[in-house]
Structures are given as structure tokens and as C-alpha cells.
Amino acid sequence: MRAGAGALYSPGAVLTPLPLLKLSLLAQLPGMDPGPEKPASSVAPRYIELIERNSHIVYPALAVLVLVLVSLAILQSFKQQDLNGAAKAEFKRLIVDELRRYPAGMEATELSDALGLDRSKLVRLLDQMQQDGVLTSYTNTHRITLWRVKGVGASTTARP
């Protein structure tokens, strides 16, 4: 058989010079670090085969997880929406009416139960009303913050 340009095997090209082989063996002396090890890849064939064999479980579970995350994000965005101006004014009027019934003051949790408003939104409204000078708040000896209408009920400051 002739070794030509299209031949796959060329006997002259396969021979490695002997001194080159000895140098490669000397480079691997005992006690010397052979170099950094390659990390195990996450796309190893076993990992891919595991996903392919269980694709009827993995992909539907992944789809359900995505749907749950999207629905939680939508619910969270609804919860974070602030009240519009008319609703704020109406709730402020209801807060003042409710606090006038209790001159000693009410807790924020009691107010939120009475008004049917989320506690975080209610506390934001109460703080806003306190800054406007409509309400006052004080903390009693049981470390409970009570809210009341300014000028109604007993004064919390000592009078001379």
C-alpha cells in the first residue's frame, strides 16, 4: 500500500524521537505537582443523562415552580399598592371617628381590626396624620403604643 497525500497512516510521521520521550518522563518527577486539576463539570454526561431520563418529572416541576413564583410576585405587587387620595381621605376620617370614640387611645392592631385596613397601611396613615398634627401617640408602661386624637382625652404630659 502506498502512503500518499490521501493516506490515513504515514509511518514516518508517527515515530517520536527518543530524547523527547525521556524529557517528558523527567518532567513528572515524584513530589512535583503535576499541575492544577480540572474541576468536575456540571454538564458531565451522567448529569445530562439523569435529566434526560427524568425529564417527565423535572420539566413539569420546573414549570410549576415558575408559576408559583409568578403568582407570588403578582400577589406581592397587589399588597404593595398604595391607597389613592380619595381612599386615604376616607380612611383618615374613619380613623379620627374611631379614635374619638376611645379618648384614652387605641392600638394600631385594634384600629386595623375595626377599620378592616392592612396594619402596615394603617401605620403609614397614622404616622402621616401625626406629622400633620391631627394625632398623637404615646407608649404606656406595657410598651404598647396608643394613638389618639390631639386635644381629646387625658394629657400624657405633666402639667405644672
Is the whole model's pTM more than 0.85, yes or no?
no
Predicted confidence at residue 159, as pLDDT, reads 40
- Count of beta carbons in the 10 Å neighbourhood of residue 105: 23
- Residue 59 cell numbers, joined: 420539566
pLDDT 10s digits, 73-110: 988 877 666 677 888 889 899 999 999 998 888 999 99
- Is 80 exceeded by the pLDDT of residue 22? no
Distance between CA atoms of residues 92 and 98, nearest Å: 10
pLDDT 10s digits, 125-154: 999 999 999 999 988 888 989 998 988 766
Could you tell me the pLDDT band of residue 18, with boundaries at 50, 70 and 90?
low
What percentage of the chain exceeds 70 in pLDDT? Answer: 65
Distance between CA atoms of residues 114 and 58, nearest Å: 47
Predicted confidence at residue 1, as pLDDT, reads 47
Higher pLDDT, 30 or 138: 138
Contact between 154 and 146 under an 8 Å Cβ cutoff? The reply is: no
Predicted confidence at residue 94, as pLDDT, reads 92
Predicted confidence at residue 157, as pLDDT, reads 53
Could you tell me the pLDDT band of residue 52, with boundaries at 50, 70 and 90?
confident
Contact between 108 and 147 under an 8 Å Cβ cutoff? The reply is: yes
Which one-letter amino acid corresponds to residue 126? Answer: L
Residue from 108, 116, 117 nearest 144 by CA: 108
Contact between 112 and 119 under an 8 Å Cβ cutoff? The reply is: yes
Backbone angles phi, psi at 62, to 5 degrees: -65, -40
CA angle 54, 58, 63 (to 5 degrees): 155
Predicted confidence at residue 40, as pLDDT, reads 60
* In this structure, CATH architecture of domain 85-149: Orthogonal Bundle (1.10)
Predicted confidence at residue 79, as pLDDT, reads 67
Predicted confidence at residue 67, as pLDDT, reads 96
